[in-house]
A and B are shown apart, each in its own frame.
Chain A
Amino acid sequence: MRIIVNRDKCAGCEECLSSCPFEAIVIKDDKAFINEYCNACKACLSVCPEGAIIEIEEAEEPKTVQEGKGVWIFAEQRGGKVASIAYELLGAGRRLADDLHVELSAVFFGSTKNEAEELIKCGADKVYFCDDPIFERFNDEPYTQLLSGLITTYRPEIVIAGATPIGRSFIPRVAARLRTGLTADCTSLAIDKETGNLLQIRPAFGGNIMATILCPNHRPQMATVRPRVMKRGEYKADRRGEIIPVNADNISSRTKVIDSIKEISDIAINLQEVDIIVSGGRGLGDPKGFKLLEELAGLLGGAVGASRAAVDSGWIPYRHQVGQTGKTVCPKLYFACGISGAVQHLVGMQSSDIIIAINKNPEAPIFNVATYGIVGDLYKIVPLLIKRIKEIRGVA
């Protein structure tokens, strides 16, 4: 329980000041304010003529959920559709659950039963499912309340979620509330055969080192998983499982999502979900260079990325930036055109399966990570490449 002043209602009459035995109420900007000396004794509640002093629920004492059973994945949806990260989590989760000989469950909010069935076909034994419209749009507080409530009730030993904007925003709250550890952005997960603990492997210091993280004394063991590194769960049309409806009573929120705006682009720009990325750097020389890269990306069904130098020059929006202060990506194929390969760029892309670097300067560090290195002018190579692909496709 905590006592606060609703500043909308407070008239600044100072009636409450003398009612407080701890001198915890002060006037700030003409309104009452309760400071850290408050003992939540409630003496002030009835004094306020405006009803502006109220009590609110405190965060629950974080409790340790010891011993648990089962592996859970948080399956996120976007626009009602299961997001691709959820299928990757099912793949990873299935392997962990099989190693531990336990069930794999998915938690799925704000969509339809049909979509929930897809999770079963791709590996879930159970789906905790809630179709309440409050979950249609991502909002941290409702998501946190429902997921932590379910974990407290059913006590899984492992909970994994996507290291996506959604997962990385609210899963930390869940972990804090449950007084358990959370490992961010894992690229590999395994069960330690001796102890049964979850081995969580993740890059640190911008990918320069890898760390294995354990959460030995708290349950559940929680991790977010980098998109596109885990193999998707196998689809079997006849797989059976159970859908467990969950109700969303007592869900409240102090934040409100007013609107979600899609920034439309001709080609997909969700860099973390595409197979092919064509990136450009300062070597493009001017913003028009990106038109060329867009054409190549369009032909290959990929997206356009950029170095910070290109973003800072104002040639392309920040959301395309790859690297330490941009996105970390690992597509199947990454083109680096006119990018020198500064360490801050490398850490965001060096785990791509295949890297093709085109750079005039044979000494450019990008060649150290390239699978195929091309020393040359990108304005000669890229148009030729586009032309050849079109010929092959018969669209020239």
Chain B
Amino acid sequence: MKIIVCIKQVPDTAEVRINPETGTLIREGVPSIINPYDMHALEAGLQIREKVGGTVTVITMGPPQAETALREAISMGADDAILLSDRAFAGSDTWATSYTLSMAIRKCGADIIICGKQAIDGDTAQVGPETAEFLNIPHISYIRKVEDITQNSIRIQRLMDEGYDIVESSLPVLLTVVKELNEPRLPSLKGKMAAKKAEIMKWGKADIMGDEDKLGLKGSPTQVKNIFTPEPRSGKKMLEGKPEEIVDALIRELRQIKCV
């Protein structure tokens, strides 16, 4: 079974700087981690490999330094890694990102592709389903449990608002995962050694035969018009006194808004 896990390197902190000219985020100088959901995606990939055999390839589109994220994934047990990096990919929105990932995945061939539910920088949750569409394969979102997997089909639990659905799909399929699915493992010593030595494949636009008009800023239908900071919350009030007095004050406030 050929398993591909899409991971994204995201800034670790909430400190965000913005390039005022382009309206895009400045990533330099902010410590980076693997998107937390993608750690669960990787763990899912490794568990599927343990169950049915095969290989796990991690893939990321990002700047050259995203290589660190790929090496970390190898230390956890991924077999190999692909870095999609090219000036032409810069400024991609979810449409162009998904297109780029799908072209690379096409080149590799895959039975199962696993993404995180969303990346915590943009919180869009769009790249998984859009990538599946470009690959013309089905997808299932918010996987919280893999019930069964064979060489040509999979049955999973999909987390929904009021409960969960049991969904079956043929392979190839793309899955997006929530953190309830598993607990990501820690890197092993052997893995860390492998990560140091691993040869990371580096692909640019020519390697994936990407159509120039569909890549990067140019290929992105959406544009960021401007970025601004939200208004701070106002009207803060501390309720003080004995517990009885505090609760009375609170009840008065709740009455005003007709909650009590």
Binding site for B on A (CB under 8 A): 2, 7-8, 29, 33, 35-36, 56-59, 78, 137-141, 144, 164-166, 168-170, 172-173, 175-177, 179-185, 199, 203-218, 253-263, 269-270, 272-273, 276, 300, 318-319, 324-325, 328, 332-333, 343, 347, 350, 354-356, 367-376, 380-381, 384-385, 388-389, 392
Pair A210/B243 contact, Cβ less than 8 Å: no
In the complex, identify which listed stretch (B58-66, B81-89, B190-198, B228-236) lies at the interface while the others stay far away.
B228-236
A182 with B126, Cβ < 8 A, contacts A260-B165, A318-B179 known: yes
Using CB atoms, name the residue of chain B closest to A382: B247
B206 within 8 A of A: no
Partner of B250, one of A138, A179, A273, A385: A385
Do the beta carbons of B124 and A185 come within 8 Å of each other? Answer: yes
Check A29–B151 contact: CB distance below 8 A. yes
Count, chain B residues at interface, CB 8 A: 87
How many interface contacts (CB-CB < 8 Å) are there between A and B?
260
Q: How far apart are the CA atoms of A173 and B165 in the complex, in Å?
A: 20
Contact of A257 among B16, B159, B167, B220 (CB under 8 A): B167
Q: Which of chain A's residues have a CB closer than 8 A to the CB of B129?
A: 140, 169-170, 172-173, 176
Chain A residue contacts of B126, Cβ below 8 A: 168, 172, 175, 182, 184
Given A176-B133, A205-B25, A255-B138, 16 more A-B residue pairs with CB atoms under 8 Å apart are: A7-B151, A29-B151, A36-B107, A59-B133, A165-B141, A205-B122, A211-B224, A211-B225, A263-B163, A269-B162, A273-B161, A319-B159, A325-B36, A325-B179, A333-B254, A385-B251
Closest to B247 in A: A384
Q: A212-B225, A214-B225, A261-B163 are in contact. Are A140 and B139 (CB under 8 A)?
A: yes
A374 and B165 form a contact (CB under 8 A): no
Q: Cα distance A19–B228 when bound, in Å?
A: 60
Between A and B, 7 residue pairs with Cβ closer than 8 Å are A172-B133, A175-B95, A176-B95, A209-B16, A211-B224, A211-B226, A356-B250
* B189 at the binding interface (Cβ < 8 Å): no
Check if A216 sits within 8 Å of B166, measured CB to CB.
Answer: no
Q: Tell whether B132 is near chain A: CB-to-CB under 8 Å.
A: yes
B121 to A: closest C-beta gap in Å = 6
Say whether, besides A176-B98, A182-B95, A325-B179, A168 and B239 are in contact (CB < 8 Å).
no
Interface check B34, CB cutoff 8 A: no
B205 within 8 A of A: no
- Would you call B220 and A209 a contact (CB within 8 A)? no
A384→B243 contact, CB < 8 A = yes
Determine which of A183, A205, A375 lies in contact with B222 in the assembled complex, contact meaning CB atoms within 8 Å: A183
CA–CA, A388 and B220, complex, Å: 56
Q: Which residue of B lies closest to A369 (CB)?
A: B233
8 shortest interchain CB distances as A-B pairs: A181-B221, A181-B222, A176-B133, A172-B129, A184-B124, A59-B136, A169-B141, A176-B130
Q: Are A204 and B180 in contact (CB under 8 A)?
A: no
Specify the chain A residue showing the minimal Cβ separation from B10: A205
A173-B129, A208-B16, A325-B120 known; A59+B134 contact, CB < 8 A: yes
**Interchain nearest-CB distance for B29 vs A (Å):** 15
Say yes or no: A272 contacts B161, CB within 8 Å: yes
